[in-house]
Structure 1
Amino acid sequence: MKKRVIKAKGWLKKLGKIKWFKIKKIKVSKNLALFCVSVVILMFGIGIIWLSSLRLPDFESFSDRKIINSTKIYDRTGKILLYNIHQDVKRTDIAFADMGVNIKNATIAIEDSEFYNHKGIRIKAILRATLSNLFGGNGTQGGSTITQQLIKNTLLTQKVTLTRKIKEWVLAVKIEKVMSKEKIFEFYLNEAPYGGTVYGIDEASKTYFDKPPIDLTLPEAAYLAAIPQSPTYLSPYGKNKERLDERKNLVLRRMKELGFITEEEYNNAKEEVVIFAPQVIGNIKAPHFVFFIKNYLEEKYGSEIVERRGLKVTTTLDYELQKKGEEIVKEGALKNEKDWGGENAGLVAIDPKTGQILTMIGSRDYFDEEIDSNYNVATAYRQPGSSFKPFIYATAFNKGFMPETVLFDLPTEFQASCDAYGRALPGRSQSNCYKPDNYDGAFRGPMSLRNGLAQSINVIAVKLFYLSGLADSLKTAEDMGISTLTDIGRYGLTLVIGGGEVTLLDMTSAYGVFANDGVRNPYTGILKIEDVSGKVLEEFTPRPREVIPKNTALTISDILSDNVSRAPTFGLNSMLVVPGHDVAVKTGTTNSNRDAWTIGYTPSVVVGVWAGNNDNRAMKKGGVAMAGPIWNKFIGEALKNLPKEKFEAPNLSADPKVVKPILRGSFLGNENFFIDKISGKLATINTPPETVEEKIVTNVHTILYWVDKKDILGPAPENPENDPQFRNWEIPIQNWWASNRYNYRITTSAEKPTEEDDIHTELSKPVVLIVKPEKTTVYRPDEKIEIEVESSGPFPLQKIDIFINDLYIESFNPNSKFYFTPSDLDNLSYENELRLISYDSAHNVGEATAVFYVK
């Protein structure tokens, strides 16, 4: 028992220690809790004081609110005002009863379906926003009610910060306490932005549908309710109509889910085609360009700064050139409409040395109500037709092909699942076969790449596209400025004759790389942007970058400016000729003449023209007939005030002993040998270039027989038949050769000599001895000095070139006498070297030197 008592006492002692520790810990926890509560109470008090300091605004003054600082957009001189963004602001307040049920329901459905249930804010939305901001968000997560949006649109800045958001929440709650839901909604619909200078539902309804809001149909109301989320991006007059359609359908779906409309009403409204009223704008110059700039400003700086902060924007636009361009485009488009069924046209002009946009014309007349004239075709997606071909050719030249390289323009099937005659193989679909025609339905047989590009031959281009590689060709186009062909999986060989979609602005800019010797300057419309205080926010800075080799660019320019090479297609006096100027130009036409392009340039300016119908209707003519006259007339005007520059000639030389024949223009074969034309034997290192003749063994095949497209300059492929295109290219070529071989001289390998040139050897070179001038004589500067030589060799001398101190003086016949006077020469000193290079009748070359003195 005693032991147990002792143990019990020990246990009690330990228990006392534990209780004391716990009591101590509880006291610390209570103190910490009291401190935290005190901090919370203090912060709450500060918050209450801050919140109570917020004044409730006088909402009756909304209609009198003015925008003080308006952004102004100028031409490149900074003197001609193109547009004052808020000079034509439209806002008219109307009563809630006059707004109509459709726009009210549509707005509630898409913006705030709990509007009539909350007290100004949605707690769940705020919590969601707060958690997002705390855990990886950017501090600007939304969740705005209509009441909050009203606050944001009227009283607070558009810059989204946590502080501004808290103010927005507090003011929303306070307003809900003193104002009815109906009044809040009325203010919201009277203040909401609907794009450009249009504010409030009354002006929006009249601007876009020419009717009061109460008469809006269900789909019309859905469109208007869709716009305030992003008024510029979703403008019915902008280039994002598909996105607006998607959001309109979202509005209708939400209305159906909330029971505002029936399933039948939803379906009918979704399918109904809504016609927007033509855009009407007040005092504005170069409207398509102005809205292109405005869109850029809003994307970079935000709509609030553009709408309210009074920016001064100096653009790159040459307004005098713009005015001439607008006249030319309108005149040309109206003529096209009358003659060929193409009612619209657009034009872009860029300085390739800077990338500055000089002219942008997005339609024949921005204010023409007969067509969709507000739509900017300069930035619209259109198929380029053959105007895309230069990017393929540039890729090919980068890899080692040359303008002289020959491909066969013959009927060719390019789908490996079809035979060479365009018939689907067993089990394959006929619809997949692809056998393109040329513009005239004719085929020309062997054809150089120079002629293929200049004459815009489709079969040559498709073959070259395959040889150059789709991925590499698209990379070239992208590097040069084509931004729309990003999904490489969408495209096949049809892309080379216009299967993708590009913009006129991108195409014109990309051609500027050819004009600027391979150097890209990204297009820009901005010279300078200043805020209301004069602080420069942005200023043009050149950003040149070489994206293709200079010689490749010069080669393309050389071909596109070759009027003789393109004459078989266009004639010698076509609209592609600008008398007195060195101009490179390419046309493009899509299937059924739906798009007509002409893009051309000098080193000083690049001009692109598109002509056609916005709705993609077919026309009677294509590129040179529709876009050519507009392009020709405009570039002629532009060049009047530009320096007359010529393209630098490219280096098109190729060493025949290094570059294989098939790349240098031979299509009869690729195996070669060289003979001396005098001896008839194999040429050696001593055989002069003048007497060397290349012989190519006749062995006609598709280029795929000789060239591995993965290594153009390398050896021929060991198994060319493994290429999936080989058979379909080879069969038509063999058929052509069978019918045409008798028109060509056949060279066989048996004709290759077995002996080497013995006319041109070291021993056969002429030996010349300089007799005069004499080394032992010092000549006077005014003394007449004779050059006398003695020679020996198997062949008589034909000519001697004279050099004194490495300066060429003259050539003379060794059978005649030659004299010179030292004082007539500028480069003489006391001691001088005379060098004679002699040529005999077999083109052997000898050399002799001597020293003479003049004092």
Structure 2
Amino acid sequence: MKKETRFVLWLLLIILLGGVTFLIIGMAGLPSLKALEEYQPKLSSKVYYADGSLMSEFGEEHRTLISLNQMPENLRNATVAIEDERFLKHKGVDFYRILGAAVQDILHMKLKEGASTITQQLARSLFLTRKKTFIRKFREAMLSLEIERRYTKEQILEMYLNQIYYGSGAYGVGSAAWTFFGKETQNLNTAECALLAGLPRSPSNYYSPYQNPENTFARQKLVLKKMRELGYITPEEEYDARKTNIVIRPPMHKEIKPLYFIEYLRIYLEEKYGSELLYRGGLEIYTTADPVMQKTAEKVFPANIQRLRKELKKENIDGALVSIDPATGEVKAMIGGCDFKKSQFNRAVQAHRQPGSAFKPFIYLAALDMGFKPDDTVLDSGVSYPASEKNKKWEPKNYDGIMHGTVTLRVAIAQSLNLATIKLIELVGPENVIPYAAAAGIKSPLGADLSLALGTYEVTPLELTQAFSTIANRGVRTEPFFIRLVKDSEGRILEETSPRFETALNASTCEQVTELMRGVVEFGTARYLSAYGFRYKCAGKTGTTDEFTDAWFVGFTPTIVTTVYVGRDDKTTLGPRMSGAAVALPIWAEYMNGAYRPSTQPETKPAE
């Protein structure tokens, strides 16, 4: 046998063995399509405000699963036109495109993307990596042929449009439509459909509407041109779509997010439902948060804390804000600090702080319920008591250092007179005050001593807000709650919360205390509230602790109770004369000016 013949035979043998080896390796690495039959895409769980608008999402991939008939026809056509114009003709692999791409591969001496069909892209997205190798391309082709054998074109296109990445954290067209346009998918116009269809080629960089808008719109025009050439739209429709003004929604990461509220929910939901369901199961969580109130809090509170830090030259000033609907217990707004990224400590629910004079309404509540009248008098004079330390005395003073003599209860609470309130709790008995505070909603332990009159026992902003809500709701206590409804991805209700009512205090007594607290706003320590711009009828109480460590204002209208707390995490002083009226009251006023809507928020009748 001639040497040339032997060489050719050996070469053919090597090629044959190489081909067989390639087939064995390629086939051996093929995933089972059983996984596709059982496949459940990663669905992010969505969190909604009380009005149904989106607050946030929990999940590895932000995706909303929608059916093909919920997608505009032009979205489907635009995708086919730009990604795979022979989609309806081939069986998963387009050999015409492969031939053209192969020529380009040879010319450039490397693998270049461009020949993958929609089915191949789906196979790659579900089962393979994006690494450019001949083995991966072979497996991609084999999977595509099998997918096409098992599923209809409509099913494949629906899976593709729900699976593919569109950039900016959006997986699938449902999430992409909301991310870029703030719309439901079915409401997209032709111009928007063409823009979305052009993104998957390079969603994170070259065609990103946020990073390279010029490229995005150039590709959109290319998509429209292809649609017209393939007969999906007329020249007139192409012209109209090109002229359509498209408004790209601002990047979602730049939106103000209620991170303390979201984290509070996340901890609860993950503990109850587990990580798998929360991050991949597509839960729908409907909260009690009012978007206007929460967003106002997110703007007003951090800005004022930053202002205080600058003015007082103290960097660790922080605090909390909580708003509750007294008639239902729904938490309408909550912010647990100035900057969640720097401190995840949620002061609204985790910070136990002395309420100071903000606790006094419960002293007067007990006194009135035991027979005292608002115009009964008490002596505001000096007091001295043995202290726990040997040879020490407890000799509290009024804020202004003045003793006012005989005053009515009305004046005593309005002017927040410490000495008069101590005399009152002596008459009532501190042990008799505790049950009233507990009935209103104070869960933290309280001591039965005279210092209770000055709010020396620590509470959280949330429980103090609940306690004031009971007074505002004429003695009917409601339990605060953050979540109205939780559904699974199939729409089944997993959890539903309804307001829980309990008559805890005498309605008439609560009305009297509310009237006393109106005096705080009209002629007492919060009398400057109207100067800060809030002129609606309301009641409330300021609170300041020793050494100006904690500053509070809890105020309420018939439909909302809001607490503002300001302090320092190390429990050191805010600074001289940094009282609740000076620090917390202005924040409360600015927040309520933006959040309170009396014209659209009718006064809720108290629960029966």
| C-alpha distance in 2 between matches for 1:447 and 1:351 | 34
Which residue number in structure 1 is paired with residue 11 of structure 2? Answer: none
Q: Is this contact kept in 1: 2:296–2:595, CA < 8 A?
A: no
Deviation at 1:86, TM superposition (A): 3.8
3-state secondary structure, aligned to 1:293: helix
3-state secondary structure, aligned to 1:430: coil
- Alignment of 1:601 onto 2:573: no
* Letter matched to residue 334 of structure 2: M
Which residue number in structure 2 is paired with residue 386 of structure 1? Answer: 357
| C-alpha distance in 1 between matches for 2:306 and 2:332 | 23
Q: Is this contact kept in 2: 1:75–1:82, CA < 8 A?
A: no
| C-alpha distance in 1 between matches for 2:61 and 2:455 | 43
Q: Is this contact kept in 2: 1:602–1:647, CA < 8 A?
A: no
Q: Is this contact kept in 1: 2:532–2:590, CA < 8 A?
A: no
Deviation at 1:308, TM superposition (A): 4.8
* Letter matched to residue 552 of structure 1: T
Residue in structure 1 matching 2:345, options 359, 367, 375: 375
Find the structure with the greater CA-based Rg: 1
* Letter matched to residue 353 of structure 2: R
Deviation at 1:338, TM superposition (A): 2.2
* Letter matched to residue 363 of structure 1: G
Q: Structure 1 stretch 291-300 or stretch 384-393: which is displaced more?
A: 291-300
| Bigger fraction of residues in helix | 2
* Letter matched to residue 403 of structure 1: P
| C-alpha distance in 2 between matches for 1:578 and 1:497 | 29
Change (3 A) 1:547 1:443: same
Which residue number in structure 2 is paired with residue 753 of structure 1? Answer: none
Change (3 A) 1:453 1:563: closer
Which residue number in structure 1 is paired with residue 31 of structure 2? Answer: none
| C-alpha distance in 1 between matches for 2:283 and 2:429 | 47
Change (3 A) 1:476 1:306: farther
| C-alpha distance in 2 between matches for 1:469 and 1:300 | 43
3-state secondary structure, aligned to 1:467: helix
Change (3 A) 1:79 1:624: same
| C-alpha distance in 2 between matches for 1:549 and 1:378 | 28
* Alignment of structure 1 residues 296-315 onto 2, 5 Å: 296-303=268-275, 305-315=277-287
Task: Describe the superposition over 1:213-251 as per-residue Cα deviations: whole angstroms up to 9, x where unpaired.
Answer: xxxxxxxxxxxxxxxxxxxxxxxxxxxxxxxxxxxxxxx
Which residue number in structure 2 is paired with residue 472 of structure 1? Answer: 432
* Letter matched to residue 619 of structure 1: L
Deviation at 1:282, TM superposition (A): 9.9
Q: Is this contact kept in 2: 1:560–1:586, CA < 8 A?
A: yes
| C-alpha distance in 1 between matches for 2:255 and 2:358 | 36
Which residue number in structure 1 is paired with residue 391 of structure 2? Answer: 430
* Letter matched to residue 550 of structure 1: A
* Letter matched to residue 296 of structure 1: Y
3-state secondary structure, aligned to 2:456: coil
* Structure with more relative contact order (C-alpha pairs < 8 Å, separation 6 or more): 2
Which residue number in structure 2 is paired with residue 338 of structure 1? Answer: 310
| C-alpha distance in 1 between matches for 2:442 and 2:273 | 25
Which residue number in structure 1 is paired with residue 332 of structure 2? Answer: 358
| C-alpha distance in 2 between matches for 1:577 and 1:498 | 26
| C-alpha distance in 2 between matches for 1:647 and 1:454 | 26
Which residue number in structure 2 is paired with residue 457 of structure 1? Answer: 417
Q: Is this contact kept in 1: 2:534–2:589, CA < 8 A?
A: no
- Alignment of 1:83 onto 2:83: no
Q: TM-score, normalised by structure 2?
A: 0.57
3-state secondary structure, aligned to 1:561: helix
Q: Is this contact kept in 2: 1:598–1:628, CA < 8 A?
A: yes
* Letter matched to residue 392 of structure 1: I
* Letter matched to residue 326 of structure 1: E
Deviation at 1:496, TM superposition (A): 2.3
3-state secondary structure, aligned to 2:394: coil
- Percentage identity across paired residues of the two chains: 33
Change (3 A) 1:67 1:506: farther
Change (3 A) 1:408 1:474: same
Q: Is this contact kept in 1: 2:475–2:504, CA < 8 A?
A: yes
| C-alpha distance in 2 between matches for 1:476 and 1:603 | 21
| C-alpha distance in 2 between matches for 1:399 and 1:578 | 37
| C-alpha distance in 1 between matches for 2:58 and 2:521 | 50
Change (3 A) 1:299 1:454: farther
Change (3 A) 1:435 1:387: same
Change (3 A) 1:491 1:305: farther
Which residue number in structure 2 is paired with residue 207 of structure 1? Answer: none
* Letter matched to residue 567 of structure 2: G
Structure 1: gaps (5+ residues): 1-60, 89-280, 419-423, 649-855
3-state secondary structure, aligned to 1:482: coil
Which residue number in structure 1 is paired with residue 463 of structure 2? Answer: 506
Deviation at 1:468, TM superposition (A): 2.6
Which residue number in structure 2 is paired with residue 321 of structure 1? Answer: 293
Structure 2: gaps (5+ residues): 1-34, 63-252
Task: Describe the superposition over 1:552-594 as per-residue Cα deviations: whole angstroms up to 9, x where unpaired.
Answer: 1111111111258734x55x54468765411101110111111
| C-alpha distance in 2 between matches for 1:67 and 1:495 | 57
Deviation at 1:409, TM superposition (A): 0.9
- Alignment of 1:617 onto 2:542: no
Change (3 A) 1:575 1:612: farther
Which residue number in structure 1 is paired with residue 474 of structure 2? Answer: 517
Task: Describe the superposition over 1:265-317 as per-residue Cα deviations: whole angstroms up to 9, x where unpaired.
Answer: xxxxxxxxxxxxxxxx9988211001111222244445554345432110011
3-state secondary structure, aligned to 1:81: strand
| C-alpha distance in 2 between matches for 1:550 and 1:535 | 40
Q: TM-score, normalised by structure 1?
A: 0.41
Q: Is this contact kept in 2: 1:576–1:624, CA < 8 A?
A: no
- Alignment of 1:286 onto 2:258: yes
Aligned length: 376
Change (3 A) 1:335 1:521: same
Q: Is this contact kept in 1: 2:285–2:486, CA < 8 A?
A: yes
- Alignment of 1:73 onto 2:44: no
| C-alpha distance in 2 between matches for 1:591 and 1:66 | 58
| C-alpha distance in 1 between matches for 2:544 and 2:420 | 16
Q: How much is the aligned-residue C-alpha RMSD, in angstroms?
A: 3.2
Change (3 A) 1:599 1:563: closer
| C-alpha distance in 2 between matches for 1:345 and 1:540 | 28
Change (3 A) 1:484 1:341: farther
* Letter matched to residue 292 of structure 1: Y
3-state secondary structure, aligned to 2:354: coil
Q: Is this contact kept in 1: 2:521–2:540, CA < 8 A?
A: no
| C-alpha distance in 2 between matches for 1:412 and 1:576 | 35
| C-alpha distance in 1 between matches for 2:550 and 2:40 | 46
| C-alpha distance in 2 between matches for 1:540 and 1:629 | 34
* Letter matched to residue 266 of structure 2: K
Change (3 A) 1:614 1:603: same
Change (3 A) 1:481 1:330: same
- Alignment of 1:493 onto 2:450: yes
Q: Is this contact kept in 2: 1:450–1:565, CA < 8 A?
A: no
Change (3 A) 1:79 1:645: closer
Q: Is this contact kept in 2: 1:330–1:364, CA < 8 A?
A: yes
Which residue number in structure 2 is paired with residue 397 of structure 1? Answer: 368
Deviation at 1:84, TM superposition (A): 1.9
* Alignment of structure 1 residues 759-778 onto 2, 5 Å: none
* Letter matched to residue 573 of structure 2: A
- Alignment of 1:639 onto 2:596: yes
* Letter matched to residue 461 of structure 1: T
- Alignment of 1:483 onto 2:443: yes
* Alignment of structure 1 residues 146-185 onto 2, 5 Å: none
| C-alpha distance in 2 between matches for 1:398 and 1:540 | 33
| C-alpha distance in 2 between matches for 1:472 and 1:575 | 35
Task: Describe the superposition over 1:435-465 as per-residue Cα deviations: whole angstroms up to 9, x where unpaired.
Answer: 2111111111111111111111111222222
* Letter matched to residue 615 of structure 1: D
Residue in structure 1 matching 2:486, options 529, 532, 538: 529
